[in-house]
Amino acid sequence: MNRRFFASLIFLPLAVLSATLAWAQDANSEPSPRTTVLLWPNRPPGAGGNEDGDLPQLIITQVASEVPTAAVVILPGGGYHGHAMGHEGYEFADWFAAMGIQSAICTYRLRGKGNDGKGYGHPRPMQDAQRAIQTLRVRAKELNIDPERVGVIGFSAGGHLCSTVSTHFLDAKPTAEDLIARVSSRPDFSILCYPVIAFDKPYTHRGSQQNLIGTDPDPKLIEELSNERQVTKNTPPTFIFHTAADKVVPVENSLQYYLALQRNGVPSELHVFPAGRHGVGLAQQLPGASQWPDLCRDWLKRLEMLPKL
């Protein structure tokens, strides 16, 4: 297929639902514009130690508002061996804040690069991202968040994680002892930026696959985490951005996911631009692709995620 093309495919409608954490500070203290908190109140499931990499965090950026706002969990990329915190983390926290949307960067656990299988593979990153969504819902009143407007954005491998929590989510358990479990982890909207989606040949990103599920993965796990095969009518409304020139994560990842969304009647929007390397972030000053943030803002406005003026 000729990958030097520009496509802007738009289909809309609707979807929703609902879905918590332990603050690493006094609950009565005044929140700062950026507050870092531990994601898990005690020891995270499967934690192998007490170092920074064992203890995922949320880095919360708040906005001043007289009414509850939408919020988004940010999942930076990095091939499941690192977090691209600058151009896929803090820059987007500020971008969302400028639109009146609160955010929380999730430093989900990682396998780590070149560590002979140590670190954290599946399901730990998924559990962390699910809990991040639930956390914002459970702390909604405290953070001035609308619990029915909590979404997720992910980049590259973080885009794979974003699509994972958009297709594998926990239902609310109203009588659970853990407050977090009383709300759903299903995001209300999903934004995928040059995402890894497929975990099978020929389009997967091998490094992300190996870091998440190992060098000789179970075929059932490959199937389970090839998220284009896991889309259902309950997958949340989705915005996707990719470049056809991406040499690291083929654009076919986004195309396959978009087609699966359409087959299942999920409101979705795909923008593919001809030029741009992998990992362009906000793509400022990149011809064509620099349009995507405004297109995404318009999409969020149509979903009623932006403040009403």
pLDDT, one tens digit for every residue, the chain (309 residues): 443 333 444 333 323 222 233 333 333 334 348 999 999 988 899 988 888 789 999 999 999 999 999 999 999 999 999 999 999 999 999 999 999 999 999 999 998 654 455 689 999 999 999 999 999 999 999 999 999 999 999 999 999 999 999 999 999 999 999 999 999 999 999 999 999 999 999 999 999 999 999 999 999 999 999 999 999 999 999 999 999 999 999 999 999 999 999 999 999 999 999 999 999 999 998 999 999 999 999 999 999 999 987
Is 281 part of any domain? yes
Is 177 part of any domain? yes
Is 2 part of any domain? no
Is 308 part of any domain? no
Phi, psi of 86, rounded to the nearest 5 degrees: -75, -80
Sheet holding 34-38, edge to edge: 7-11, 268-273, 238-243, 190-193, 145-155, 69-75, 102-106, 57-61, 34-38
How many CB atoms neighbour CB 160 within 10 A? 32
Is 298 part of any domain? yes
Is 1 part of any domain? no
- 65 forms beta bridges with none
CA dist 60 → 85, 200, 298 (Å): 13, 34, 24
Residue 105's domain spans which residues? 7-302
69: helix, coil or strand? strand
How many CB atoms neighbour CB 28 within 10 A? 5
Number of domains in the chain: 1
Is 290 part of any domain? yes
Is 189 part of any domain? yes
Task: Provide the CATH number for the domain around residue 253.
Answer: 3.40.50.1820
Contacts of 259 (CB under 8 A, 6+ apart): 228
Contacts of 227 (CB under 8 A, 6+ apart): 160, 163, 164, 166, 167, 197, 198, 199, 257
Residue pair 201/253 in contact (Cβ under 8 Å)? The answer is: no
Cα-based angle 246, 248, 249 (whole degrees, multiple of 5): 75
